[in-house]
Amino acid sequence: MTNKEFVLALRKGDKRTALWLKLQGSGPKAVASGLDKQQGIVNYFVGNDPKQWRTNVPTYSRVKLAGVYPGVDLVTYGAGESRALEYDFVVKPGADPSRIRMAVAGAKSLRSEGGKVIASTACGDVTLNRPYAYQTIDGVRRRIACSFTSARTHTRARTAAVRTTPSSRS
The pLDDT of residue 89 is: 86
Cα separations (Å) of 126 from 86, 102, 147? 12, 15, 18
Residue 100 makes CB contacts below 8 A (sequence gap 6+) with 69, 72, 89, 161, 162
Where are the chain's structural domains? 5-164
User: Mean pLDDT in runs of 10 for the chain (170 residues)?
Assistant: 83 90 85 90 92 92 90 82 74 86 86 84 86 82 79 47 45
pLDDT of residue 85: 73
Alpha carbon distance 98, 117 (integer Å): 18
